[in-house]
Amino acid sequence: MEQKTNYGAESIQVLKGLDAPRRRPSMYIGDTGQRGLHHLVYEVLDNSIDESLAGYCTHIKVIVHQDGSITVEDNGRGIPVDIHPEEKKSALEVVMTILHAGGKFDKKSYQVSGGLHGVGISVVNALSKLLIVQVKRDGKIHQQAYARGIKTSEVEVIGETKETGTIVKFYPDEEIFPETEFKYDILVGRLKELAFLNKNLKIEILDERNSKTETFQYEGGIKSFVESLNLGRTALHPVIYFDTEKEKIQVEISMQYNNSYVEVTHSFVNMIHTIEGGTHEEGWRTALTRVVNDYIKKNKITDIKLTGEDAREGLTTVISVRVPEPQFEGQTKTKLGNSEVKGLVSSIVYDKLGTFFEENPSVAKLIVQKIVDAAKSREAARKARELTRRKSALESGSLPGKLADCQERDPSKSEIFIVEGDSAAGTAVGGRDRKNQAILPLWGKMLNVEKARIDKIFGNDKLQPLILSLGCGIGEEFNVDKLRYHKIVIMSDADTDGHHIATLLLTFFYRYMRPLIEKGYVYIAMPPLFKIKKGKDEIYVYNEAERDKVLDQIGRDGVAIQRYKGLGEMNAEQLWETTLDPERRYMKQITIDDAAVADQMFSILMGEEVGPRRDFIFEHANEVRNLDV
């Protein structure tokens, strides 16, 4: 039957004002989960940072209030409040209510600027149930209020002041965000990062919910950033640093080799973390490899042809470029696309690093020797990889014999549980749903990949079955599209050894298979700590507080409490009920909200240096409940 439709001009819907971000918030802030919620704060912060970049703001303060709101305050010039010549209303109202309005487009107010894509503060306004903005300038305090992007008052003078700056207080809208609670640790990660990137800028945070407060200010800027990232590792030399401006593009790079075998690179464009890299990273990588190869050739050190990966092994680098007209690939600016930046960065790095090598021959020799060792290790890894392939070809279906695989072949429907010890694995095999749940047992102490080169990882009898089971390869051959399971669940005991094994596995995934975490495929199972039995009723609880709460419901008379020291103490049915059954289990998804914080945490927890690890554990001992990377 023919369906009749009328599709004319009247069918075209025009979203006016701030309707678009309210209708499609994910287009503007990425998502409406925790990431998007905190992105609101970053958008307000970006305006303050732009004032700092322009030389007017020296102090930013963030306050998390008990009522769920948040305030961002700066001592910049303050958003203009005079009447806009075209819009015939206060410039403050224009900035707060019109998309793509701001002082960032004519390049007179700001030579470079951050922000998402010229829509920042107005989108925050649209997605807040209430927003109050105060501007201190021209001796007066101006104020205007909004509800879901619509003004509820005119711009009015509420007092006098000798200060300048902007104060934005907003309440995220529950109609947009399912969860509106700001996380202190997530905010601290970004604030600390911004303080590193803006030398001497003072950034404070106060959490009124628990009276936590911290201040970040770094005289060394990104030099201090690299030193912070290398905590827990042994640095091989002082930080190499240069800051140069060429063709209105400022290039600031800080780098330091350490005794680990892991490359850590964080790049930024106008304070925005370009997690996918881009032309600025490409220029730096090209020049680094060229400088090292030139040095080796000139000094006749070895005949081995080095690769870029060899040159970056054990190198921690922060790259910060400021570009007047950045072109970003993707909606949320994670990759720089400006082609001219690659050649510019490359020439600066080649010149500055080459000069550093000439002026510091002892450091250059130390660095080059480490790189040559990396090249030899890569060759050993290639042989180990071939051995791994030959071994796997002899095994049934190229999968390790210890793997109890599932019947499902669609990765999006398949789960693999990495279980500590044979007895717990046996119980898990008995309790699982064999249709879509695979079980892989691990036993004994795993390799700490933070202290091992890749050739050792290929040959390791604990990691080899895991690499083969996942099917996506490792190192140069890693391909996330070949992953056999889209839920990788670490299932270890809730004791010290269990937590250590879980941390070793997370370190391995983070360093060598990071896309698994980035795509949300890695989980930690949370088996219960107690079983409470009263009469015929059985209740599983996950911590002491929950246990005490249940006992205050049901009373303590005639109650039997069993504490599980390990997974092996459960029978197959209990393990299914508590840890394997998708309807009832509790699992923690591992996310990377802040790669720099995660990098630092892993290097401290798994690195060589005892002091920083001890300090970290003591500092966070009372906070740890569930580890969320």
**Each residue's pLDDT tens digit, 22-48:** 888 888 887 898 889 999 999 999 889
Kindly state whether residues 329 and 414 are assigned to the same domain. Answer: no
Verdict on whether the full-model pTM lies above 0.75: no
In a domain, 181, yes or no: yes
Kindly state whether residues 74 and 137 are assigned to the same domain. Answer: yes
Q: Report how far residue 511's alpha carbon sits from residue 595's, in angstroms, rounded to the nearest whole number.
A: 11
CB atoms < 10 A from the CB of 488, how many?
Answer: 26
* Confidence grade of residue 626 (pLDDT, cut at 50, 70, 90): very low
Asked if the model's pLDDT at residue 117 lies above 50, the reply is: no
The total of structural domains in the chain comes to 4
Kindly state whether residues 86 and 138 are assigned to the same domain. Answer: yes
Annotated catalytic residues are: 420, 493, 495, 497
Q: What CATH number corresponds to the domain at position 171?
A: 3.30.565.10
Kindly state whether residues 48 and 79 are assigned to the same domain. Answer: yes
Kindly state whether residues 37 and 157 are assigned to the same domain. Answer: yes
In a domain, 389, yes or no: no
- Structural domain of 167: 19-216
Kindly state whether residues 261 and 331 are assigned to the same domain. Answer: yes
Q: Higher-confidence residue: 135 or 622?
A: 135
Kindly state whether residues 73 and 160 are assigned to the same domain. Answer: yes
In a domain, 3, yes or no: no
Asked whether the beta carbons of 271 and 194 are under 8 A apart, the reply is yes
Handedness of CA 239, 245, 246, 249 (dihedral sign): positive
Query: Torsions phi, psi of 220, nearest 5?
Result: -85, -10
* Confidence grade of residue 393 (pLDDT, cut at 50, 70, 90): very low
**Each residue's pLDDT tens digit, 605-623:** 666 665 665 565 555 444 4
Q: What CATH number corresponds to the domain at position 307?
A: 3.30.230.10
Kindly state whether residues 520 and 544 are assigned to the same domain. Answer: no
Kindly state whether residues 412 and 445 are assigned to the same domain. Answer: yes
Kindly state whether residues 190 and 145 are assigned to the same domain. Answer: yes
Q: What CATH number corresponds to the domain at position 511?
A: 3.40.50.670
In a domain, 383, yes or no: no
**Each residue's pLDDT tens digit, 186-213:** 999 999 999 999 999 999 999 999 999 9
Q: Report how far residue 49's alpha carbon sits from residue 61's, in angstroms, rounded to the nearest whole number.
A: 12
Q: Higher-confidence residue: 208 or 94?
A: 208
Residue listed under structure tokens 């809208």: 173
In a domain, 559, yes or no: yes
**Each residue's pLDDT tens digit, 310-329:** 999 999 999 999 998 888 87
Q: Higher-confidence residue: 396 or 522?
A: 522
In a domain, 568, yes or no: no
Last residue of a domain, one of 159, 186, 216: 216
Kindly state whether residues 170 and 74 are assigned to the same domain. Answer: yes
Handedness of CA 4, 9, 12, 15 (dihedral sign): negative
Kindly state whether residues 233 and 195 are assigned to the same domain. Answer: no
